Structures are given as C-alpha cells and as structure tokens.
Amino acid sequence: MVKYERAPLATVRARSMRREMTDAERKLWFLPRDRRLDGAKFRRQSPVGPYIADFVCLGRKLIVEADGGQHVENKRDAARDRWLATEGYVVVRYSNIDILKNPEGVLMDLLARLEGRALN
C-alpha cells in the first residue's frame, strides 16, 4: 500500500468530523460498523491520500459517501472521485434523503456492491 504525505491537520480534522457526524452519517455508520456487512472492516471519517472519506473499507477499496444536496454535480467531488479511482478505489454515494428515508434500500445496494468486490 502506498503511503501518502498527509497534511498535519488531516488527522485532527478527521477526528473532529467523527465527533460531529450528520444524522445521515450516523445512521449510515450503523450499517457497516463492527464488520456487519459481509465481514468488511470499515473506518469512518478516515484520511485516504489527500482526502477524508466518510467511510472506507481499505481491504476492498470501497469508499462510501453520505451526500447532501451541495454534492450534486460538484466539480471538486468529480475530481476527487477521479483521483480515488486512479488509486483503485470505487466511490459509492448515497443521498442523505435516501439514507434517512430508505435505509433498507441503501443496505441492500451496499451489500450487493460488497459482494461484487469481495476478495477471495
């Protein structure tokens, strides 16, 4: 695994973001924590290269983002996703509305993605 130079404040910022999770992030975190999804280990608000991912499964190179309306067609998000893709990550985004109103659908989609990316 490639190690990245991380800005000194990235870890501090990630810790702060863990304490200040949105309602949607909190609800979404309940799904993958403690290896509940196909045995995959997820970290929350974790630095990945120069970015902080909402949730990341390093073993399966899957990043899960909980997005509000400000992320629709966001050019910075697109550039971030391209960079992460060059590093082998797949980024999956769920809207906050879907997470809060349809957690079962989000769960089923996330499980399907994990099963498709399972390492044997």
Per-residue pLDDT of the chain (120 residues; tens, 9 = 90+): 455 555 566 666 666 666 778 889 988 898 888 888 889 999 999 999 889 999 999 999 999 999 886 545 678 888 999 999 999 999 999 999 999 999 999 999 999 998 884 433
In the chain, what are the domain boundaries? 8-115
Kindly report the number of other CB atoms within 10 A of residue 49's CB atom: 18
Put simply, whether the predicted model's pTM sits higher than 0.85 gets the answer no
What token pair was written down for 7? 């800005």
Predicted confidence at residue 7, as pLDDT, reads 59
CATH class of the structural domain 8-115: alpha beta
For residues 60 and 104, the answer to whether their CB atoms sit within 8 Å is no
Predicted confidence at residue 12, as pLDDT, reads 64
